[in-house]
């Protein structure tokens, strides 16, 4: 595995580290102290708590019905999960409550041991969670194969859906999923219409509610779909089916509390372990998912704002999950819930995702949701008793179906783990949760052993030289076949052994080594290669593990790391500058002719630093940080050493013949846009104009903005370009600044330039123009909508230039609109009619790999595939007075040109 990691050169962060009061937790550091020790409640937390409360109440009642537990137990566990786990857990935005994953397990425990013993089992599982959290075992729990975890949850979801289907059909569920499936024909034979119709209505509202169109739809969608479906079903049942079975909340005075467990010790220990396993895995997986949701929310607001425009205030940072603390918090919540006669508690993905999307900023939202549930349990008993059981069963049935995620199925199939996933689901449905997990683990081990032992060995004769191809891992199990294949080769002959695997044990190594020594001693020549053809005996350069051909600039900071050996830095830079498909091997170095030749003595340099010892970051004092000037000098030196010899002939030809670009490319000055990469172009291909916001001032605009017009006139009239492209991008800071403008905005140079973007803002808000959109999906937000509309508006400004209008009328010029999503590395092209000004729909179509229709106007292979990079180099660039300079940057994208929001 590579020791190289991506390094983010953020000089602001390095020069001014975050304060302890900022709420940002450093790795392996204690949590920041609470300011003032007070529990702060923000307005966003209050509104988010109400949203989650409206989801939690019907969900808690539905899960209690599914478990055949006292209905008030569902409300108790929701309140305890919100208040106790919210205060003590390690994931501030995670909402805990009754566990959907434990539905089947808890229902079986209640049937076998009764309700009071089940509460005692919940307490025991909570105590073990506290113990494991104190022993810092939470990360180890995530080491279970994802195929087993998701297969377990999917199997539980299938069992939940089968059980609740009986209630929806007006009957009662049986003891197991298999029994429920076999009893379905009989249940359908004695069907009563009231319950199925109410259940169908609930499911229909759940499906349709998030998709209601129009302004009214946007308004009503603020009400959670779960609450809306149950409320509508309750209202319809009150009028159309007054005799339907409803929620029956008994008096709190008759609520049953736990008792000492009664039953076989081994069976009780197994039950405690099962509750512990499922509740812990569900909580920890939900915590990891909440971290991703929180990071995505923050990234959507701030990650794309590091451009040349002022930033928009973002949500306060939220600490990443402390999984050990989360496990302890869940354990305490389970102990309290069990003592109060509640259901087992775990983190819930549905409630937690709703909390994050509702804008929660801290624990207050989770805790307040628990308070609201507690108040509802005491004050809304009469209202809750109007809810039909069929509506709650339909709600939980949909939750069960959602636990079978098609995204997870695709993922495990992609990683060839579907057999493990399917075996786990089958085991859970047929035998139970613990048995299903055991079956999944057994199958996973068997699959791993099969892959380890499966080795294919082929021998072919290629003009007197034998090629031995070994596919798979080389263990002692493959030694007999390997020895037999190698023994068939003529003694003293030449052979190439291609090893396509990542593991070789001692027995296989000795077998190959002894055969190689014997062949060499008899005058033969043996070469060992990997699948790519590189010699395995050559030094393992970091170029292979860091700077891959398909991401030539991905780790362009490799040569800046003080811990990287000299030759490794050179190799990384060399890989980054070779044309696609023509990369050197680990011990090759570019020469003046552009060919790679072997560099003798590379072995020593590849393992030691310039001082003759290993030069690692942790060895001695930290290396001094490089300043911008040093980085510039280092980049230029890297260019002269590695890239210049490869492109010197081509640049000399261009110097003699002059530039003849075929395109004028107008794009933003954002440092993340590498035009040569996304257009797969080389020296002399693009005449580039970069400015803040990719703006094209219309003719006759204010003086001082003539540089863009001059570049357009020069490109069209002198260079005779064949096309002009206006390229916008996601997260454009200029568009964000336009969205946040106010009448009292200071009249700075930046604002005077951005005024040329006001027509785009007016076009987006006007009802006379159709909104620009992306094919296959709607724009993510108003900022992306403005980025798309701005491209269309700037094309209109282009047509107003006299030289452009003249060439368009002659049919000698084409205009193109382009949008590049930075985070997805995906290019989109404006439809031809809209680019020409004659289309009604302003649609940006996705450019797929190998799409000839999209590739033709640019005379390139693929706008979205970095493997189609042609000759390396820079383009001719014209910068407007408002544009940031775009010097040649051999270090990679954004290294020299980094503007702060």
Active site residues per annotation: 668, 670, 672, 729, 732
From the list 743, 770, 898, the residue with the least C-alpha distance to 830 is 770
Phi, psi of 540 (to 5 degrees): -80, 95
Burial-class residue 256 by CB neighbours within 10 Å (0-12, 13-18, 19+): middle
Please name the residues in contact with 247: beta carbons below 8 A apart, sequence gap of 6 or more.
Answer: 61, 65, 71, 384, 385, 386, 387, 388, 389, 392
CA atoms within 13 A on the CB side of 394: 30
Query: In what side-by-side order are the strands of the sheet with 526-529?
Result: 455-462, 465-472, 495-500, 526-529
Q: Give the integer Cα–Cα distance in Å for 690 and 668.
A: 5
Q: Other CB atoms closer than 10 Å to residue 352's CB: what's the count? A: 26
With H, G, I as helix, E, B as strand and everything else as coil, classify residue 331.
helix
The three-point CA angle 276-279-282 to 5° equals 140
Lookup: tokens for 865 = 């595939």
The helix (H) or strand (E) run that includes residue 589 is strand 588-590
Q: Residue 877: what are its φ and ψ, rounded to 5°?
A: -130, 130
Structure tokens at 872: 């390396």
Contact 539, 586 (CB under 8 A): yes
Q: Which of 411, 403, 449 is nearest to 147 (CA)?
A: 411
Paired tokens of 13: 């962060």
HSE on the CB side for 819, CA within 13 Å?
29
Strand 588-590 to strand 596-598: parallel, antiparallel, or no bridges (unpaired)? Answer: antiparallel
What angle do helix axes 225-240 and 43-67 make, rounded to 10 degrees? 50
The contacts of residue 271 (CB under 8 Å, 6+ apart) are 105, 109, 113, 121
Q: Residue 246 carries which DSSP code?
A: B
Distance set, CA 745 to CA 314, 704, 733, 881 (Å): 20, 20, 16, 21
List, as one string, the DSSP characters of 95-109: -EEE-STTHHHHHHH
């Amino acid at each position: 595995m590579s020791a190289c990691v991506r390094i983010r050169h953020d000089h602001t962060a390095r020069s001014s580290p975050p304060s302890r009061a900022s709420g940002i937790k450093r790795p392996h550091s204690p949590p920041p102290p609470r300011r003032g020790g007070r529990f702060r409640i923000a307005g966003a937390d209050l509104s988010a708590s109400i949203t989650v409360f409206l989801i939690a109440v019907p969900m808690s009642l539905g899960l209690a019905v599914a478990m055949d537990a006292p209905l008030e137990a569902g409300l108790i566990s929701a309140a305890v999960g919100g208040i106790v786990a919210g205060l003590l857990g390690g994931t501030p935005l995670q909402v805990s409550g009754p566990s959907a994953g434990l539905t089947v397990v808890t229902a079986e425990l209640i049937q076998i041991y009764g309700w009071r013993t089940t509460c005692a089992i919940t307490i025991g599982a909570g105590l073990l969670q506290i113990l494991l959290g104190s022993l810092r075992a939470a990360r180890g729990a995530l080491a279970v194969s994802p195929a087993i975890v998701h297969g377990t949850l999917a199997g539980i979801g299938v069992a939940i859906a089968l059980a609740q289907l009986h209630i929806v059909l007006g009957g009662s569920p049986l003891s197991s999923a298999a029994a429920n499936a076999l009893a379905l024909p009989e249940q359908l034979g004695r069907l009563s219409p009231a319950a199925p119709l109410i259940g169908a209505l609930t499911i229909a509202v759940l499906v349709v509610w998030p998709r209601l169109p129009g302004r009214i739809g946007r308004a009503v969608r603020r009400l959670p779909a779960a609450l809306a479906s149950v409320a509508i079903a309750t209202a319809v049942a009150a009028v159309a089916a007054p005799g339907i079975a409803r929620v029956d909340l008994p008096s709190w005075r008759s609520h049953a509390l736990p008792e000492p467990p009664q039953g076989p010790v081994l069976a009780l220990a197994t039950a405690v372990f099962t509750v512990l396993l499922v509740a812990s895995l569900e909580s920890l997986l939900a915590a990891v998912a909440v971290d991703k949701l929180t990071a995505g929310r923050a990234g959507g607001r701030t990650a794309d704002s590091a451009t040349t425009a002022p930033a928009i205030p973002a949500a306060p940072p939220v600490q990443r999950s402390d999984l050990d603390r989360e496990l302890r918090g869940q354990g305490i919540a389970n102990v309290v819930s069990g003592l109060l006669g509640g259901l087992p508690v775990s983190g819930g993905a549905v409630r937690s995702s709703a909390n994050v999307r509702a804008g929660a900023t801290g624990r207050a939202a989770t805790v307040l949701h628990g308070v609201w549930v507690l108040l509802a349990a005491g004050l809304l008993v009469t209202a809750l008793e109007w809810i039909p059981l069929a509506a709650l069963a339909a709600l939980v049935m949909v939750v069960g179906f959602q636990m079978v995620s098609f995204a997870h199925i695709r993922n495990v199939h992609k990683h060839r783990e579907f057999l493990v996933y399917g075996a786990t689901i089958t085991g859970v449905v047929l035998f139970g949760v613990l048995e299903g997990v055991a079956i999944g683990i057994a199958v996973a081990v068997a699959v791993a052993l099969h892959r380890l032992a499966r080795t294919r060995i082929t021998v072919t004769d290629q003009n007197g030289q034998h090629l031995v191809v070994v596919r798979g891992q080389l263990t002692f199990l493959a030694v007999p076949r390997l020895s037999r294949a190698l023994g068939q080769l003529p003694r003293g002959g030449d052979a190439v052994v291609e090893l396509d695997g990542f593991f070789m044990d001692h027995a296989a190594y000795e077998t190959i080594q002894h055969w190689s020594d014997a062949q060499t001693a008899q005058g033969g020549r043996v070469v060992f290669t990997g699948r790519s053809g590189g010699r395995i005996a050559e030094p393992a350069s970091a170029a292979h593990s860091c700077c891959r051909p398909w991401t030539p600039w991905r780790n362009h900071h490799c040569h800046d790391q003080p811990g990287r050996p000299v030759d490794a830095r050179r190799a990384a830079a060399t890989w980054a500058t070779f044309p696609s498909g023509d990369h050197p091997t680990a011990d090759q170095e570019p020469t003046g002719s552009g060919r790679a030749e072997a560099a003798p003595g590379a072995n020593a340099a590849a393992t030691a630093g310039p001082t003759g010892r290993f030069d690692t970051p942790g060895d001695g004092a930290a290396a001094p940080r490089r300043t911008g000037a040093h980085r510039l000098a280092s980049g230029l030196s890297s260019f002269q050493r590695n890239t210049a010899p490869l492109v010197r002939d081509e640049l000399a030809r261009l110097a003699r013949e002059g530039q003849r670009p075929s395109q004028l490319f107008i794009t933003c000055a954002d440092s993340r846009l590498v035009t040569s990469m996304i257009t797969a172009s080389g020296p002399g291909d693009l005449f580039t104009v970069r400015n803040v916001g990719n703006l094209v001032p219309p003719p006759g605009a204010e003086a001082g903005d003539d540089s863009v017009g001059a570049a357009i006139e020069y490109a069209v009239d002198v260079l005779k370009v064949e096309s002009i492209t206006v390229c916008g991008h996601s997260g454009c800071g200029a568009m964000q600044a336009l969205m946040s403008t106010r009448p009292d905005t200071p009249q700075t140079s930046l604002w005077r330039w951005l005024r040329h973007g006001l027509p785009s803002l007016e076009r987006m808000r006007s009802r006379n123009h159709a909104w620009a959109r992306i094919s296959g999906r709607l724009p993510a937000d108003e900022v992306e909508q403005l980025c798309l509309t701005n491209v269309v508006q700037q094309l209109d400004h282009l047509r107003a230039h006299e030289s452009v209008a003249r060439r368009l009328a002659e049919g000698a010029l084409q205009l193109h609109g382009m949008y590049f999503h930075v985070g997805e590395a995906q290019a989109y092209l404006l439809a031809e009619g809209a680019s020409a000004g004659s289309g009604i729909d302003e649609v940006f179509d996705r450019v797929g790999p190998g799409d000839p229709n999209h590739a033709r106007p640019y005379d390139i292979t693929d706008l979205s595939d970095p493997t189609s990079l042609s000759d390396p180099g820079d383009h001719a660039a014209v910068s407007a007075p408002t544009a940031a300079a775009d010097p040649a940057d051999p270090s990679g994208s954004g290294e020299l040109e980094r503007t702060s929001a």
